Amino acid sequence: MVEAFMQEAVEMAIENVRAGRGGPFAALVVKDGEIVARGTNLVTSSQDPTAHAEVVAIRRACRSLNTFQLDDCDLYTSCEPCPMCLGAIYWARLHRVFYAGTREDAAAAGFDDHFIYDEIALSPADRHITMIPLMRDEAQRAFDAWTNHEGRIEY
Amino acid sequence: MVEAFMQEAVEMAIENVRAGRGGPFAALVVKDGEIVARGTNLVTSSQDPTAHAEVVAIRRACRSLNTFQLDDCDLYTSCEPCPMCLGAIYWARLHRVFYAGTREDAAAAGFDDHFIYDEIALSPADRHITMIPLMRDEAQRAFDAWTNHEGRIEY
């Protein structure tokens, strides 16, 4: 069963390259043994740097299931998720993640996430992208608005 | 100038809470001193766990500028980006990031990214979300398809 889902993810990744839609990556979201959403890398064709296969599949699964939480779903991805996709996986609270290629395989094909892993672990002031703190006190007003908003929906 | 952009981000974050669209977060993408895109947190209202303010603003900026790279743009965000948004910032290659609230301020308001920072730094086998390697050799076919695809657009 798990092998059949992963085989489908890999075939989708290959087809994605042949069709010129983006990088060699695909992902499936599965609930109760059924595929509820499919995604492939659409970065270049949709001009969206966040359109990695996992993010696309998570967005579609949420739309399909009418929820912003996927805690009863598994993700099958043709390659180990990058830090952005890992963040998305945690926010969506997926149950399990199956992956085929590793970050080392991806790096060998020109997709090197290593730099991003390293940068995330640094404090903002030490990163290669300049990050500048500004008006921290003002931001507290937004958090206060949230804390005081009785109708807030937590996520 | 930078203060005016940040003030606008904070006001948008407050309005986002009042309108019931999602969490107390907003972001702007600025190019050559002009705002090219705005985003607020839409996780609950759009049922998309990836719809953080920064991701929404990056997607809209790319659509508006017809590109998947924002290396000549700055991002103003009402709060320090979470790991998912940081990943998106690196993939979009933004020039600079200005942020108001800190991750500690966010945690005090119930938005704790600390767990995700910790998880990303672990190897897949050690994470709280079960991550299972499967059919690594098969995934190599997708990378080979990419390497052999002459029309590939790198990103």
Q: How far apart are CA B97 and CA B113, in angstroms?
A: 18
pLDDT 10s digits, A9-20: 999 999 999 999
pLDDT 10s digits, B36-51: 999 999 999 999 999 9
pLDDT of residue A112: 84
Arithmetic mean of pLDDT over chain A: 97
pLDDT of residue A119: 96
Tell me the sheet residues that pair with B97. Answer: A131, B75
SS3 content of chain B, % helix, strand, coil (to 5): 45, 20, 35
CB B74 within 8 A of CB B30: yes
CB A49 within 8 A of CB B56: no
pLDDT of residue B112: 84
Q: Give strand ranges (E) for chain B.
A: 26-31, 34-40, 74-79, 96-101, 130-133
Q: What is the separation, in whole angstroms, between the first and last Cα of chain A?
A: 32
Annotation says B54 is catalytic = yes
Average pLDDT over residues A136-149: 96
pLDDT 10s digits, B92-127: 999 999 999 999 999 999 998 999 999 999 999 999
Give one DSSP letter per residue of A55-106, joined into a string: HHHHHHHHHHHT-S--TT-EEEEEEPPPHHHHHHHHHHT-SEEEEEE-HHHH
pLDDT band at A146 (very low <50, low <70, confident <90, very high): very high
Q: What does the block give as tokens for A8?
A: 């489908």
CB contact under 8 A, B139 and A67: no
pLDDT 10s digits, A66-117: 999 999 999 999 999 999 999 999 999 999 999 999 999 999 999 989 999 9
Arithmetic mean of pLDDT over chain B: 97
Q: What does the block give as tokens for A53?
A: 């296969």
> E strand or H helix at A133, and its extent?
strand A130-133
CA distance B33 to chain A (A): 17
pLDDT of residue B147: 95
Angstrom distances, CA of residue B24 to CA of A44, B45, B105: 31, 13, 12
Nearest CB partner across the interface for B120, out of A68, A83, A94? A83
Q: To 10 degrees, the CA torsion angle through A84, A115, B154, A28?
A: -30
The letter for the amino acid at B126 is D
Nearest CB partner across the interface for B141, out of A14, A87, A147? A14
Question: Among B131, B137, B152, which would you mutate to test the A interface (most chain A Cβ atoms within 10 Å of its Cβ)?
Answer: B131
Q: What does the block give as tokens for A5?
A: 């889902």
The letter for the amino acid at B141 is R
pLDDT of residue B44: 96
pLDDT of residue B81: 98
Q: Does A58 touch chain B (CB under 8 A)?
A: yes
